[in-house]
């Protein structure tokens, strides 16, 4: 009986925490992190300030919890893409392009991730939230590594070294995310060459050159990548 009571209390606590996170993410659509007030979060979540601070050590703690939650949502979608019957190379780029389109549709999610890795934010959050976010990142890495191993084995015709798997994953994901980072940065916003259509083209061209360096080719690599990019937007 006592175990059931504890489980029920924990379930309610988890539900309340999820409601606070959902309310915070919704508020961040229309305002920046600096403008966000915990009193606004409490009002939006329908709870007291005491309830907020019983779950979150600080505003930064809440920010990292929101980032972890949005990443977990993306991980569920990634898993579906990686479980498909497509070739491993297709699956890899469908995931990268899906993340690009998801950030475009939810720019506040992208900003959450960027802020969460800021040292000043990290220092004001709890070890528990650090562990949550690290776990989400490790899950992302593991999902991608398993598929990258299959990808390199199939495309190169031999069993890849672990270092090669890591290098391929980091280089392609880093290029994709780095291009998006430039597009959304202050420089990207004011620079004429960073228009959305042009950055999408540069993104795909850069990936084509990188794949060539790995010895991975298609008869029409530009068309292949463009098709996957468009497919990932649906």
Do residues 191 and 226 both lie within one domain? yes
**Gyration radius of the chain over CA positions:** 20
Q: Hey, what are 87's tokens?
A: 């070739």
33 plus 135 within the same structural domain = no
Q: 27 and 108: one domain?
A: no
- Residue-by-residue pLDDT tens, the chain, 234 positions: 545 555 788 888 899 999 999 999 999 988 888 889 999 999 999 999 999 999 999 999 999 999 999 999 999 999 999 999 999 999 999 999 999 999 999 988 998 999 999 999 999 999 999 999 999 999 999 999 999 999 999 999 999 999 999 999 999 999 999 888 888 876 656 565 556 678 888 999 999 999 999 999 999 999 999 999 999 998
Range of the domain at 209: 63-231
pTM: 0.88
**Same domain, yes or no: 123 and 15:** no
Closest C-alpha to 67, from 33, 31, 11, 111: 111
State the pLDDT at residue 88: 97
Number of structural domains (the chain) is 2
């Amino acid at each position: 009986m006592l175990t059931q009571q504890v489980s029920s209390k924990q379930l309610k606590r988890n539900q309340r925490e999820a409601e606070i996170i959902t309310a915070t993410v919704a508020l961040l659509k229309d305002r920046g992190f600096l403008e966000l007030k915990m009193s606004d979060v409490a009002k939006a979540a329908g709870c007291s300030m005491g309830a907020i601070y019983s779950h979150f050590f600080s505003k930064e703690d809440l920010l990292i919890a929101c980032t972890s939650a949005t990443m977990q949502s993306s991980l569920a979608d990634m898993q579906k893409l990686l479980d498909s019957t497509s070739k491993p190379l297709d699956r890899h780029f469908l995931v990268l392009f899906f993340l690009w389109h998801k950030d475009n549709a939810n720019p506040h999610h992208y900003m959450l991730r960027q802020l969460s890795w800021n040292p000043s934010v990290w220092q004001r959050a709890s070890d528990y939230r650090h562990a949550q976010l690290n776990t989400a990142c490790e899950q992302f890495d593991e999902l991608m590594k398993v598929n990258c191993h299959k990808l390199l084995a199939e495309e190169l015709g031999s069993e890849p070294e672990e270092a090669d798997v890591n290098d391929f994953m980091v280089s392609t994901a880093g290029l994709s995310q780095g291009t998006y980072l430039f597009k959304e940065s202050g420089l990207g916003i004011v620079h004429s060459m960073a228009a959305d259509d042009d950055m999408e083209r540069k993104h795909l061209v850069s990936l084509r050159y990188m794949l060539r360096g790995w010895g991975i080719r298609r008869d029409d690599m530009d068309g292949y990548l463009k098709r996957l990019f468009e497919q990932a937007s649906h």
